[in-house]
A and B are shown apart, each in its own frame.
Chain A
Amino acid sequence: MKRFTISPPVAALILAVILFLLSGFLPNSYGSDVKVALSQATNIVRLSVFLGVIAAGQTLVIISGFEGIDLSAGSIVTLTAILSYVLVKGENNMVLPALLVSLVVGAFIGLLNGAGITFLKISPFVMTLGMSGVVTGAVIIINHGNVSGKVAPIMTRLIARPISQSIPIPGAIVIWLIFGVLMWLLLERTAFGKNLFAIGVNRVASKLSGVNVTGMNLATYSLAGLLAGFGGFLVVGNTGVVLIQLGQPFLFPSIAAVAVGGTLLSGGKGSYWGSMAGAIVLTLITSLLTTMQMPDSVRRMVLGGTLLILISIYGRQQALRQ
């Protein structure tokens, strides 16, 4: 059998387009109205932004290999969302400090993850799972049942609203595109990116060729925490309210988005474009199932089944016999 090759990000994107076109046939969908279809498509991409940004940090730790994974991303999102909400208090001039605090807090939690994994040799899954509990505990204490705060008008303006009357593209999508280019530059055009893929393939070989594996590991987890922190800032800018369970629903989808985008969970191979496409596919499937007014049980089963089919297509590992 001749092996036909199509890169996973492209495959995921094609799948998203086909699914979206098919969804036009649903009874309560856009039908033949192109204008409604376009605005619906824009809305789905806008919703994907938040999952996409949170999946960025996940992409980095997964590429770094050695069973890399960040299970604390969801709780970091909740924490920084609440921090931004409380700090901003509806004032535009507090937005930048709040963003800075979100990034620093996220990076600090990531650094703790990295330290536990690198120095204490705790496996990333368990370390970040434990950290997730600690951060959730901290959130409960900060939150104490309710918090008072408010999102600044400029955040809503930049994140949730269209750029201008004539261009109906929400600011979040523009932010995401710039973010995507930066991620691409980081992964493909910097020494950090090269080293990241190198340690993902083989840590011993990279160490012997002069890569500072310890430093890379710490930097990767800090960066992942920072990106999750940024995700929390964006999420609260969109929702305008905070809940104690705000970030957790993003956690496992962020891992799934990375896998759907063709990044190997064993590390060393992948791209952020893939994760972006994966985030769009997952958000699309979720919102389609909601549009179809499926009961929660069917929604979960379809989501699980789709994920299983997607990874069966290109998530397969090398055969034992070589």
Chain B
Amino acid sequence: MVRYPAFFPLILLVLSIAINLFLQPNMFDRETLNSNMRVFLPLILLTVGQAIVLLGGGIDISVGGVVSIVNTILATRVGLDGSPERMWQFVMISLLVGALAGAINGFFIAYLRLQPIITTYATSFLYAGLALFILPNPGGGIPADIANLYRTSTPLGLPLAFYVIAILLMVWIYISSTRYGKYLFAVGGKATAAYETAVPVTWIQLSIYIISGFMAALAGIAITMLSGSGNAEIGGQMTLNSITAVVIGGNAFSGGIGGVTGPVMGAVTLSLLQNIISFAHINTWWETLAKAMIIVLALAVPGIINLVRRRRA
């Protein structure tokens, strides 16, 4: 179980795909697949950043705020009739803003040694407030043809999201084999021990929040291209989902165990669950309970398996 942290999430993923396919037989048609994946991608991007932070022993509650900031920047500065050059220019600025927001978190946590959960909670207010300041009422937008680039591109017949996920996983596989990857696991496992063996702990801690902010900015860009419009509250719901996805993906909440592949599967599973519940025609009143029960069950099963195993041993 510990040796293959992505094993259980894989079972969950296959299970949820099977149920989804049963309820929605045309799920693997090019159109349906693409329209699903483009909705899933923002959460997947956010989850990858969250997974890195949790691996390094932290947590980032401010990611939703960063998503909102990026969304409001693009929606107000590019506008519905903006030129493509202007769009790409502000995409670059958004990425910088995301990394900067992450760097602020990282500065307080790594250099001032504040506790991650309360620090990023405080900055989540800063970021969400800033987003609301940029765009007090929902509105604005990006040009439709640029949004369609995200919504309808299917190079070689596969949804754009597949390529993004493939790139992310390849980058992760490369990174985890580098020295930085080893350091990441060391800091997440036990920061004091890592420090004593000359791992640059503060720098690693700073870097994970910059990565998370950057990934949140990517998620913000994706969700803006998906919706085509601006709303300062768009990211608010995504933060806790990204944390749930990482844990369903088999990573240890306390850091040092896991990877990025599992969390990506966790994010897809979580998104599919939403689909399944809306396709299963569950009474609207029961939807929230059903979803929460399934999530708790998914979290509990590895624990139950371990419990049974220990009883037998």
The listed residue (B131, B133, B232, B299) touching A126 by CB distance below 8 A is B299
Residues of A within 8 A of B115 (CB): 259, 264-266, 311, 315, 317
Is there a chain A Cβ closer than 8 Å to B18's Cβ? Answer: no
Whether A297 and B240, one on each chain, are in contact in the complex, defined by CB atoms closer than 8 angstroms, is: no
What are the nearest 9 A-B pairs in CB distance? A137-B289, A120-B303, A304-B125, A133-B292, A300-B129, A123-B253, A301-B129, A297-B132, A297-B133
Residue in A121, A255, A321 whose beta carbon sits within 8 Å of that of B118 in the complex: A255
Interchain CB contact (< 8 A) of B121 among A129, A131, A252, A317:
A252
Pair A317/B113 contact, Cβ less than 8 Å: yes
Which chain B positions have C-beta within 8 A of A131?
Answer: 296
* A304 touching B296 in the complex, CB below 8 Å, given contacts A129-B244, A134-B289: no
| List of A residues within 8 angstroms of B307 by Cβ | 119-120
| Contact status of A137 and B123, CB under 8 A, knowing A125-B253, A256-B118, A299-B129 | no
- Across the interface, do A308 and B292 meet the contact criterion of CB distance under 8 Å? no
Interface-forming stretch among A11-19, A138-146, A172-180?
A138-146
Distance between A94 CB and nearest chain B CB, rounded to angstroms:
26
Name B's interface SS: helix
Which of B129, B130, B253 has the most chain A CB atoms closer than 10 A to its own CB?
Answer: B129
Q: Are A137 and B118 in contact (CB under 8 A)?
A: no
Contacts of A298 in B (CB 8 A): 129, 133
Q: Give me the interface of B with A, judged by CB distance under 8 Å.
A: 59, 108, 112-115, 117-119, 121-133, 136, 191-192, 195, 201-202, 232, 240, 243-244, 247, 252-254, 285-293, 295-296, 299-300, 302-304, 306-307
- Return 24 A-B CB contacts under 8 Å, by A number: A116-B299, A120-B304, A121-B306, A126-B247, A126-B253, A130-B296, A132-B292, A133-B296, A137-B286, A141-B286, A256-B121, A266-B115, A295-B136, A299-B129, A300-B125, A304-B123, A305-B122, A307-B122, A308-B122, A315-B118, A316-B113, A317-B115, A318-B113, A319-B113
In the assembly, what is the distance between CA of A132 and CA of B118, in Å?
19
CB closest chain-A residue, reference B283: A141
**Is A121 a contact partner of B285 (Cβ separation < 8 A)?**
no
A311 and B119 form a contact (CB under 8 A): yes
Residues of B within 8 A of A130 (CB): 244, 292, 295-296, 299
Chain B residues closer than 8 Å to A305, beta-carbon distance: 122, 126
- A21 interfacial contact with B, CB 8 Å: no
A312 on the interface (CB 8 Å rule)? yes
Closest residue of chain B to A304 (Cβ to Cβ) is: B125
Partner of A141, one of B108, B112, B289, B291: B289
Chain A interface mostly: helix
Across the interface, name the chain A residue whose C-beta is closest to B104. A308
Residue A303 at the chain B interface, CB threshold 8 Å: yes
Contact with B along A64-96 (1 / 0, CB 8 A): 000101000000000000000000000000000
Interface readout for A268-310 with B: 1 if CB under 8 Å, 0 if not? 0000000000000000000000000001111111111101100
Given contacts A255-B118, A316-B114, contact A116 B303 (CB under 8 A): yes
- Looking at chain A, what size class is its interface with the partner chain? 35 or more
**Inside 8 A of B243's CB, which chain A residues have their CB?**
125-126, 129
Query: B201 touching A320 by the CB < 8 A rule?
Result: yes
Give the docked Cα–Cα distance between A123 and B252 (Å).
8
Q: How far in angstroms is the closest Cβ of chain A from B151?
A: 30
Q: Which residues of A contact B254 (CB under 8 A)?
A: 67, 123
Q: Which residue of B lies closest to A312 (CB)?
A: B112
Interface set of A (CB-CB < 8 Å, partner B): 67, 69, 116, 119-123, 125-127, 129-134, 136-138, 140-141, 144, 252, 255-256, 259, 264-266, 295-305, 307-308, 311-312, 315-321
Residues of B within 8 A of A132 (CB): 292
Shortest B69–chain A CB gap in Å is 11
User: Residues of A contacting B195 with CB < 8 Å?
Assistant: 320-321
Q: For residue A75, which residue of chain B has the nearest CB?
A: B292
Q: A120-B303, A320-B191 are in contact. List 10 more A-B contacts (CB 8 A).
A: A119-B307, A123-B252, A133-B295, A134-B292, A137-B286, A300-B126, A311-B118, A315-B114, A319-B113, A320-B195
Q: Which residue of B lies closest to A136 (CB)?
A: B288
- Contact status A127-B299, CB under 8 Å: yes
Instruction: Determine whether the beta carbon of A307 is less than 8 Å from that of B118.
Output: yes
When distances are taken between beta carbons in the complex, the residues of chain B under 8 Å from A316 are 112-114
Chain A's nearest CB lies how many Å from the CB of B274? 13
The residues of A that contact B302 with a CB separation of less than 8 Å are 120
A3–chain B nearest beta-carbon distance, Å = 16
**CB-CB under 8 A for A311 and B126, given A121-B303, A123-B253:** no
Which residues of chain B are within 8 angstroms of A119 by Cβ–Cβ distance? Answer: 303, 307
Smallest beta-carbon distance A149→chain B, Å:
18
Q: Which of B136, B289, B292, B299 contacts A297 (CB 8 A)?
A: B136
Whether the pair A122, B121 counts as a contact (CB closer than 8 A) is no
Whole-angstrom distance from the CB of A129 to the nearest CB of chain B?
6
Task: Give the Cβ gap from A200 to chain B, nearest Cβ, in Å.
Answer: 14
Residues of chain B within 8 A (CB-CB) of A259 are 115, 118
The CA of A301 and the CA of B69, in the complex, are separated in Å by 13
Chain A residues near B289: list those with CB within 8 A: 134, 137-138, 140-141
Min Cβ gap B220→A in Å is 17
Please determine whether B118 and A122 come into contact, CB atoms closer than 8 angstroms.
no
- Is B296 within 8 A of A134, CB to CB? yes
Given contacts A119-B303, A301-B126, A307-B121, contact A67 B192 (CB under 8 A): no
The CB with the most chain B CB atoms within 10 A, among A69, A301, A318, is that of A301
CB-based contact A308/B119 at 8 Å: yes
Q: Could you tell me the distance between the alpha carbons of A302 and B125 in the complex, rounded to whole angstroms?
A: 8
Q: How far is the CB of B202 from chain A (nearest CB, A)?
A: 8
Centre residue among B125, B136, B306 by max chain A CB count within 10 A: B125
Closest to B232 in A: A297
Cα separation A315 to B303 with both chains bound (whole Å): 33
